Chain A
Amino acid sequence: MVEVLQARADTTPDALAFCFLIDGEEEGPRLTYAGLDREARSVAALLQDAVGPGDRALLLYPPGLEFIPAFFGCLYAGVVPVPAYPPRFDRLAQSWQVLGSIVTDCRPAVVLTTRGLASLVAGIPSCGGLRVLCTDGLDPSGARRWRQRPIDPEALAVLQYTSGSTAAPKGVMLTHRNLMHNQRMMQTALGDDGPGLGVCWLPLYHDMGLMGGVLQPVFHGTSCVMMSPLGLLQRPIRWLRAISRYRAVSSGGPNFAYDWCVERIAPEERAGLDLSSWSIAAVGAEPIHPVTLERFAAAFGPCGFRPEAFCPGYGLAEATLLVTSGPRSAPPVIRIVSASALEQGQVVAAAPPHPPPLSLKAEERREALLALSSYGGRGDRGKEADVRALVGCGHPWLGQRLEIVNPDTRVPCPAGLVGEIWIAGPSVAVGYWNRPEETKHTFRAFLSNGDGPFLRTGDLGFVQDGELFITGRLKDLIVIRGRNHYPQDIEQTVQAVHPGLRAGCGAAFETWKDGRPVLVIVQEVERRCRSLDVARLVGDIRQAVAERHELQVHDVQLVEYGSIPKTSSGKIQRHACRQGYEQGTLRRWKGKA
């Protein structure tokens, strides 16, 4: 990536690389390719004075462009950037805890940030004693002091913390080769026209924002208009206005962003939008719902949005970003299958075998799909409609291998069966930083015939006619709005709320409600506990989970002592808890008379 950026700065120095929209609306700072290269050199020179090659640098940046030269500056200096969620003024304790676990894990030599955040960063307990460098407003003459060193493509380029519980954070180790291969894969999927002008509101410390919003434009020498995630949350119209105003070609986000637009943009606001330039609307990072795509296409079709612009994909940080996607301008593939067969791991087409064609009028098609799938979510479907609608996520590219494997026998599944998704290829990361056990388990998986190594994704799916469909997860990870949450962390938070809640005897899981993943807590009450103010306790639990995990609890069920399903070795069976919850068979706590 270093050579790519330098080449851009040489051939198109004055071309716009990035610009930032203040409040998601007003055009703010800009970076040309020459400007970005110069700023990255300044950061690199600063780093070369302070730390050695291979050292880690924690990147704490507010929304804006400052992150970008800092990130490239690290690569220029041979220092490993560790992008992290910046501390929040309103939730310092929580920010500190998350940061603290990352700092303890990767032992950064330095923290890079802005002048605006520096005082806050210096006050973070876990960053005490760490050197803090501000990378904004550097003297440009410093750039000349940068000494370029050769880069080994197999060397560690980035540590990406996206998974792992707070107790055991996992830093995905990405090499320079990983980054380049994933960009080439996206390039192949995009075709000759490339991404064109992009709009990115995703946080840059998230894999989708970093690979799609920062690296992709540089790889192609295109421009990207940035805005803050909060800008989108406050007024999603800002996202679509930016696309309309700049005639953007590519922009994307998780499923929820598209729902957010449909829910929170009034019809009269839609009037001025022209979305006809938007030909790559990436959707990923969390389960994709056919109805979300339908609703969005129906709402914004009159603004020129085309359903074939949707580009559903599947990816994870352990594979850099992208694993599968469809080719550009192919409409999403939707399959309707039997929900009960799918629960048993079998793929059985449900009548009608195919969803209503996209050529149908949007409104009619949406109604037909709704009737068919009742939003396509488990736990939310009508008893009589045994169907689940799934969106295809395309196929692997550039020689990456994908196998659907029976996780118990480690034998590839025959067609028509659901299994765990295993991947091999140059985009698969090296492993987790300093975690040999987890690395071996996740990154060094071998088929029973010795074929491998593969990355075990922990996601379940099947392949039909070359198209990958995601059906669920083997692990209990909770993915809401593109962020991963470990149920163990949430359960601990819940159990700390009150001594009457039995430690190690609760389950946090996702279920579906109106086509959305929602969080449900099932928690045992101690036997000796005779009376509880249930309403108050539930309020305490909701508050604790919202404060510590930024998650909204949809429902809390207190259950009788010893009634949570567990394995013989005492592990919580969250899947069984979920089934019990959905079927209403849990033994609810009634208190003692």
Chain B
Amino acid sequence: MSRSAQEIADWMVNRVSALTGLPPEAVSVSEPLLRYGLDSVALVALTTDLEAWLGYRFRENPLEEHPTIEALARFLAEQKMTR
């Protein structure tokens, strides 16, 4: 199933909100995720949940190249289309 950039971004905002305890409106899509102080365990949890939700596994951690929700969502949405 293919997801739009908007759907991915919404999903990410909700997950980051759940992981940090911040309200969803406080999670900005244009700030690097590291700004929310997610530690390595939380980042692993986030990427594995994202894989499960998208239904495929990443070869490399996409957060390294695309550190904001906006960039990540755009990247993943395009990935899916070119597959």
Contacts and interface: CB of A to CB of B under 8 A. Distances in A.
A543 B37 contact: yes
B44 A553 contact: no
Interface stretch (A191-199, A228-236, A242-250, A303-311): A228-236
Contact of B45 (A264, A540, A551, A553): A264
Contacts of B31: 539
Contact of B64 (A90, A546, A550): A90
A550 B37 contact: no
Interface string B34-49: 1111111110110010
Given A90-B64, A554-B21, A543 B35 contact: yes
A551 B32 contact: no
Contacts of B35: 539-540, 542-543
A546 B32 contact: no
Contact of A547 (B34, B36, B42, B44): B34
A546 B39 contact: yes
Nearest to A535: B26
A502 interface: no
A464 interface: no
A545 interface: yes
A344 to B, nearest CB: 32
Contacts of A234: 44, 48
B44 A230 contact: yes
Contacts of B40: 233, 550
Interface string A516-547: 00000000000000000000000111110111
Nearest to A263: B45
A552 B39 contact: yes
Contacts of A233: 40-41, 44-45
Nearest to A555: B21
Contacts of A543: 32, 34-35, 37
B32 A552 contact: no
A482 to B, nearest CB: 12
Contacts of A90: 61, 64
Contacts of B64: 90
Main secondary structure of the interface of A (DSSP, over half): helix
Nearest to B37: A542
A552 B37 contact: yes
A305 B67 CA distance: 40
Given A90-B64, A539-B31, A554-B21, A546 B45 contact: no
A546 B41 contact: no
B37 A545 contact: yes
B39 A235 contact: no
Nearest to B39: A552
B44 A546 contact: no
Interface in B22-63: 31-32, 34-42, 44-45, 48, 61
A481 interface: yes
B32 A481 contact: no
A541 B48 CA distance: 26
Contacts of B34: 542-543, 546-547
Contacts of A546: 34, 37-39
Nearest to A235: B48
Contact of A550 (B21, B32, B39): B39
B73 to A, nearest CB: 20
A543 to B, nearest CB: 5
Nearest to A543: B34
Contact of B41 (A235, A481, A554): A481
Contacts of A481: 41
Contacts of A550: 39-40
Give the interface centre of A264, A481, A550, A552 by most chain B CB atoms within 10 Å. A552
A89 to B, nearest CB: 9
Give the interface centre of B21, B41, B45 by most chain A CB atoms within 10 Å. B41
Contacts of A545: 37
A539 B20 CA distance: 12
A268 to B, nearest CB: 13
A433 to B, nearest CB: 28
B22 to A, nearest CB: 10
Sort A-B residue pairs by CB-CB distance and give the 9 closest, nearest first: A542-B37, A552-B39, A539-B35, A233-B44, A543-B34, A553-B37, A546-B37, A234-B48, A550-B40
12 contacts: A90-B61, A233-B41, A233-B44, A233-B45, A481-B41, A540-B35, A542-B35, A543-B32, A550-B39, A552-B20, A552-B38, A553-B37
Interface of A: 90, 230, 233-235, 264, 481, 539-543, 545-547, 550-554
Given A235-B48, A543-B35, A550-B40, 14 more contacts: A90-B64, A234-B44, A539-B31, A540-B35, A541-B37, A542-B34, A542-B37, A543-B32, A545-B37, A546-B39, A552-B20, A552-B38, A552-B42, A553-B37
